Amino acid sequence: MTKILFIRAEWDPEAEVWVATSDDVPGLATEAETLEALSVKLDSMVPELLDVNGYPDGPEVPFELLARKFSVAHRTAH
């Protein structure tokens, strides 16, 4: 069974972008303005980085993208 790679995405409020990193994909550090755009970038970057780092070949590279964003909601006056 192929290992599912784990990728973290965290919102950077100062830069206003999602930043992706992974312990499973050496060298992965990328950003995008939306999660959808980040996912599209990862579809090509993850296999490329695995190839560069000599990981075993396979027709598919499954990965899980976990997104985290800290927010503060404000109540309206009653």
Helix/strand/coil (H/E/C) assignment for every residue in 14-71: CCCEEEEECCCCCCCEEEECCHHHHHHHHHHHHHHHHHHCCCCCCCCCCEEEEEECCC
Give the strand pairing for 29-32 and 63-68: unpaired
Chain center to CA of 54: 20
Q: Is the pLDDT of residue 78 over 80?
A: no
The 3-state DSSP class for residue 5 equals strand
Q: What is the pLDDT of residues 12-57, one digit of tens each?
A: 999 999 999 999 999 999 999 999 999 999 999 999 999 998 887 7
Domains in the chain: ranges and CATH: 5-68 (3.30.2390.10)
- Distance from C-alpha of 53 to C-alpha of 39, rounded to nearest angstrom: 21
